[in-house]
Structure 1
Amino acid sequence: MSAYVTPIVSAILVFAAIAILVTVPWAVYQYRKYGYYSFWKSFMLATFIFYSLSAFFLVILPLPESRINCVERLPLAHYMQTTPFQFIADIQREATINWSSLATYKQLAKTPAFYQLIFNVLLLFPLGVYIRYMWKQKRNVWRAFVIGFFISLFFEVTQLTGLYGFYTCPYRLFDVDDLLANTTGAVLGFALAPLFLMFIPSKSSLQIRDAAMSEKREATRGAELLALFFDIIASQVIAGMLATFGNQQWFEQQLLFFVTLFVMIVVIPLVNHGRTLGALVVKIRYETIQRTLGISLLKRYIAIALPYILGIISSMTDAAVPNETGWTLIFLISLNLLSVFVTVIIIIHLVWRLLRRTKPFYFDHYSGTVALRQERMKKK
């Protein structure tokens, strides 16, 4: 069982690292190209990456303990099984089966050669499902055959060459039956894919949604929140860099952050046609439904900064009164609870607005700002 568990666990760990590295860039790409974040595109991409890692690790793991994994080099033919359908003889050798008697087939459940055959069929079965998703028509089954064959050949060559020369000798057998089983699995996956894809929007329906979203003038809530995330992170990084030169105290560092954030989300968009640095990343811009953009941006800044200010006041009060008792203790506890309560409410509000999509964030509603897609404005 560990022969299967270890590769899957390895795939999970590598996939988690990849997800951490590419989630934000992938979101930026989608917002810039399509104007919205597609859950189903992300789901299909994520599952494909995880499947690919799992399949590859199942083929190459476990690795030999040493790069010098053989006493002497033997001809490559020694590591190759080139007789098609050899698995039938292997099964017959490991179990007494009369192929004309169904009663003897129950012995297959105890036959390692049969397990290996089923595993090799299932290995590329999901690949056939993904190919069917990309090329929906039945006539494209030849794509599943060709791609499945060459992916299987890649696996077999990887094994035959000892990870392309990293190990002195192959540590697994090149088996032509594996090529046949893997390719069969890809074709079966293609044929049976509709059973697995019935609950997933088709590629064509996602393309229709892309076209519909591209016609919308207003930016999505996700795009605006991601832009704000970049603005806040950029402000923190810049403020931190400036603080290292002046050796400021904690309060001065916080004040520097608020000044930097003010420049980032008020001053810069005023001189850059409503675009902050974060807005440039996701290709949006800010306008106002009130009289003056500057006043709206200032009100938006206040609404965004207030939760930070409340948390700072709470931290400063705790530090200023180290030995609190009586009413002072009650006041500090209440202040901390208020800070936590406001933070939780804001998080719930942001998540709810992301799900509802139609209503603005509290800071936009208060300030009268509207986030618009930049490419739409260029067409005007």
Structure 2
Amino acid sequence: MSLWASVVAYSFMYYMLSTLFLVLLPLPETRDTCAHQSADTVYYSLVPFSFVSDTLAASSIVWSNPTTYMQVFQQSAFWQATFNFLLLLPFGVYLRYFWQEKRHWKRALAFGFALSLFYEVTQVTGIYGIYNCPYRIFDVDDLMLNSSGALFGYWIGPIILALFPSKKTLLAKTAKIRQSERVPPLSQLLAVWVDYFAIQAVLFVTIGFFTANELIEMLCTTVGFLLVYFALPLQCGGKTIGTNLLRFKLADPQGETPSRKALLFCAFSLSVNKPGLINGERSGILSHKKVGQLRRLSRDVCKKGVNH
């Protein structure tokens, strides 16, 4: 993928995860949420536009006196409704980018409603039984506001998308990249990141609970890199976890699977330099020096990136 196509894809995934976390977090401290609720607790609100009556009831608006209208902005019910409206507005913009045409607005409304319904059901079921009682209510106002926000985002999508490269341009660049045998350095670095964090995740759930010895962790990490960058490419035609996700594979200048020597060198080099994969104390930002090192290290085995 081109840089902008990658930005769109990863930003969409980040947005969807962030939205889910905003809806579900903070989580209760205990799974027995029923113990902290009274027996007559109501877990749903099925009266439409309750946020309007709640806002007006909490304020002292005098309709004949416009100066009192500003009290609306001091009410929590108003800001909660505003947040629910804005929550899925970016979702509508993404849908407009994916579908392009205005005539699909009904589909966008349906998708927005379905996503909002998923959030509400997740809440009212206590995240599908993890908690024995819901810790947030099912609110029909949330359904309406989320859905209308997604629809509004779909309508104003062209205004926002005008600031970025068009989908047609990105598809043309993506096609050009796929025709090229050279994989962009950013894709190579992202693949290394994916492989590195996959190795660390496996180590965390296997030895992380049993030892904190740095020597053992270093040896296990080295073994992990050998498996991912030596054994796996040999068995899978030059593919690792990260390269498969980024849709390319390791190849020598002739387009074939790299030699055992090249793969072994790459695995050991990355394992030795693995602290440099993360700049500073796990800040997640690659330093310019380490970027250059990783590019040079990958040059032997990624001389030709073969897209698939």
Q: Normalising by structure 1, report the TM-score.
A: 0.52
SS in 1 for 2:34: coil
Choose which of 248, 253, 262 in structure 2 pairs with 1:286.
253
**TM-aligned CA distance change 1:347 to 1:195, over 3 Å:** same
Per-residue CA deviation, residues 306-360 of structure 1 (Å, 9 max, x unaligned), is: xx9xxxxxxxxxxxxxxxxxxxxxxxxxxxxxxxxxxx99868679xx8xxxxxx
Q: Any gaps of 5 or more consecutive residues in structure 1?
A: 1-36, 234-263, 266-271, 289-296, 309-343, 355-360
**TM-aligned CA distance change 1:101 to 1:225, over 3 Å:** same
Larger Rg: 1
Q: C-alpha distance in 2, partners of 1:370/1:172?
A: 50
Contact residue 178 and residue 307 of structure 2 kept, 8 A: no
**TM-aligned CA distance change 1:61 to 1:99, over 3 Å:** farther
Q: C-alpha distance in 2, partners of 1:188/1:345?
A: 42
Query: Is the counterpart of residue 177 in structure 1 residue 141 in structure 2?
Result: yes
**TM-aligned CA distance change 1:225 to 1:57, over 3 Å:** closer
Q: How far off its partner does 1:148 sit?
A: 0.8
1:112 maps to 76
Q: How far off its partner does 1:143 sit?
A: 2.2
Q: Any gaps of 5 or more consecutive residues in structure 2?
A: 197-228, 270-286
2:12 maps to 48
Choose which of 94, 97, 110 in structure 2 pairs with 1:130.
94
Choose which of 148, 171, 181 in structure 2 pairs with 1:207.
171
Choose which of 153, 169, 173 in structure 1 pairs with 2:117.
153
Q: How far off its partner does 1:141 sit?
A: 1.3
Q: C-alpha distance in 2, partners of 1:89/1:284?
A: 65
Matching residue's letter, 1:82: L
Contact residue 160 and residue 170 of structure 1 kept, 8 A: yes
Corresponding residue pairs, total: 241
Per-residue CA deviation, residues 244-300 of structure 1 (Å, 9 max, x unaligned), is: xxxxxxxxxxxxxxxxxxxx99xxxxxx9xx97889962644149xxxxxxxx9xxx
**TM-aligned CA distance change 1:39 to 1:102, over 3 Å:** farther
1:87 maps to 51
Of 43-52 and 173-182, deviating more is 43-52
Q: How does 1:307-318 map to 2 (within 5 A)?
A: none
Query: Is the counterpart of residue 140 in structure 1 residue 107 in structure 2?
Result: no
Per-residue CA deviation, residues 146-189 of structure 1 (Å, 9 max, x unaligned), is: 11111111111111111111112111121111111111111111
Q: How does 1:17-32 map to 2 (within 5 A)?
A: none
**TM-aligned CA distance change 1:179 to 1:348, over 3 Å:** closer
SS in 1 for 2:253: strand
Q: C-alpha distance in 2, partners of 1:124/1:115?
A: 15
Contact residue 219 and residue 373 of structure 1 kept, 8 A: yes
Q: C-alpha distance in 1, partners of 2:165/2:158?
A: 11
Contact residue 224 and residue 371 of structure 1 kept, 8 A: no
Q: C-alpha distance in 2, partners of 1:224/1:158?
A: 35
Q: How does 1:156-235 map to 2 (within 5 A)?
A: 156-216=120-180, 218-220=181-183, 222=185
Q: C-alpha distance in 1, partners of 2:163/2:186?
A: 27
Contact residue 56 and residue 72 of structure 2 kept, 8 A: no
Per-residue CA deviation, residues 211-230 of structure 1 (Å, 9 max, x unaligned), is: 233344x424539966x979
Instruction: Specify which structure has the higher proportion of helix.
Output: 1
SS in 1 for 2:154: helix
Q: Normalising by structure 2, report the TM-score.
A: 0.63
SS in 2 for 1:172: coil
Q: C-alpha distance in 2, partners of 1:126/1:183?
A: 12
Contact residue 219 and residue 284 of structure 1 kept, 8 A: no
**TM-aligned CA distance change 1:212 to 1:160, over 3 Å:** same
Contact residue 95 and residue 108 of structure 1 kept, 8 A: yes
1:247 maps to none
